[in-house]
Amino acid sequence: MESVACRSTRSAVSVSLIQACVTATTTMLAVLIGGWLTVRAQDRLWRRDHDRQWRDIRLNAYTDFIGAAREYVAFVLNPAARITAVPRPRDPGDLMPFFDDEGTRYRERLESTKTALRLVAGQPEVVSGSSELVRQARLLAAMRADSGVEVLPVNRFDALWEAERRFIEAARAELGLPSALAP
């Protein structure tokens, strides 16, 4: 009889040990899965926050650049602005505009916002669009140096505003915004 009680006790200990191992293993597995899911959720939140911060940084840089480009053009169109132009010594050989002290402020702001834009732009189309807009603004300023505001050709303005539209479309696409132009 004693042996039956021993076997029964051993069997109960053995079952208790197995239950304890299964319970501990299940608990550890649940903790690992919960930790892994938490890490994944935190990573997704971090990435979303990171993307939002970069979107805001880019939006500010693009907005500052457009503002600087418009201020530059407004200065160029001011009849009192003193602008001179000299041929560029290297290709493409077009005219380079130079400004008085007041105009230098607008040129420097345009250049600095263009550089800031290049630092944060995520797509090459945005950088090339900004370069084309600056090029068109400089061509307008160079033409303005040789003549008055009233005789600037319309096609120069058309090219400038088209470059601005292309830049804005590239920037909106990068920011995940729909096209601003009607289809």
Looking up residue 63, the CATH number of its domain turns out to be: 1.20.120
The predicted-structure confidence for 54-107, as pLDDT tens digits, reads as follows 999 999 999 999 999 999 999 999 988 888 888 888 766 678 888 888 889 999
Phi-psi region of 176 (alpha: psi -120 to 50; beta: other; left: phi over 0): left
pTM exceeds 0.85: no
Asked if 61 contacts 116 with a C-beta cutoff of 8 angstroms, the reply is yes
Asked if 164 contacts 66 with a C-beta cutoff of 8 angstroms, the reply is yes
Task: Give me the phi and psi of 115, to 5 degrees please.
Answer: -65, -45
- Provide the greatest CA pair distance for the chain: 121
Angle formed at CA 66 by CA 60 and CA 72, multiple of 5 degrees: 135
Place of tokens 């590239």: 170
Three-class SS state of 15: helix
Task: Give me the phi and psi of 81, to 5 degrees please.
Answer: -70, 135
Q: In this structure, is residue 60 part of a structural domain?
A: yes
Q: In this structure, is residue 65 part of a structural domain?
A: yes
Local structure of residue 94 (DSSP, 8 states): -
In 63-180, DSSP assigns E strands to 83-87, 95-99
Q: In this structure, is residue 68 part of a structural domain?
A: yes
In this prediction, residue 124 carries a pLDDT of: 93
Local structure of residue 97 (DSSP, 8 states): E
Q: In this structure, is residue 102 part of a structural domain?
A: yes
In this prediction, residue 182 carries a pLDDT of: 61
- Which tokens is 71 given? 């201020």
Portion of the chain with pLDDT greater than 90, in percent: 45
The predicted-structure confidence for 119-152, as pLDDT tens digits, reads as follows 999 999 999 999 999 999 999 999 988 787 788 8
Closest CA relative to residue 133, chosen from 169, 101, 104, 162: 162
pLDDT at 34 over 70: yes
Q: In this structure, is residue 27 part of a structural domain?
A: no
Q: In this structure, is residue 124 part of a structural domain?
A: yes
Q: In this structure, is residue 80 part of a structural domain?
A: yes
Q: In this structure, is residue 84 part of a structural domain?
A: yes
Task: Show the domain range for 85.
Answer: 49-174
**Number of structural domains, the chain?**
1
